[in-house]
Amino acid sequence: MNKPTCVTIGSDHAGYTLKCKIIVHLRECGVDTVDVGTHSTESCDYPEFAHAVCKNIQEGVTELGILVCGTGIGMSIAANKHRGIRAAACSDTFSARLTRLHNNANVLCIGERVVGEGLACDLVDAFLEAGFEGGKHQRRIDMIAAIEQSQH
């Protein structure tokens, strides 16, 4: 799969510095970004930014998103509350690649306090370069979607 031409990215204060570095990396790779904030290291609430990224995906502004907080965990929990969002907190490239290949994840969550800049950029590349394999994995995604539908 080719990298997308544009992704939505957001962070809270604990992920702001890494988010900025990821944006530079993406631009160097020819990928545009829609930056939904935050725009400083001033304390803020991560669910707001998870919601903004997920809303852009739900509305078709971009197909994929990246969220950065201290660990990536809070963002993934908040993002996964949105219909149609499959967010994964990853700190290794194998998981970042496989979450796209097998889980058709559409949001990558990264922890600034967990990974450094170099690994974060590798995670982003692995995530964006992988494509959903479909097949038996589609059946499982359909099962997840059915659970999601039954909860709303």
Residue partners of 124: CB distance under 8 A and separation at least 6: 22, 25, 26, 66, 96, 108, 110
Q: Whole domain around residue 87: which residue ranges?
A: 6-150
Active site residue 69: yes
Q: Is residue 38 part of a domain?
A: yes
Q: Is residue 70 part of a domain?
A: yes
Q: Is residue 82 part of a domain?
A: yes
Q: What is the pLDDT of residues 30-77, one digit of tens each?
A: 999 999 999 999 999 999 999 999 999 999 999 999 999 999 999 999
Catalytic residue chosen out of the listed positions 20, 25, 51, 102: 102
> For the domain that residue 10 is a member of, what is the CATH number?
3.40.1400.10
pLDDT of residue 108: 98
Active site residue 25: no
Look at the chain and report how many structural domains it folds into.
1
Catalytic residue chosen out of the listed positions 54, 69, 90, 109: 69
Q: Is residue 16 part of a domain?
A: yes
Q: Which residues pair with 65 in a beta bridge?
A: 8, 107
Q: Is residue 36 part of a domain?
A: yes
Q: Is residue 1 part of a domain?
A: no
pTM as predicted = 0.96
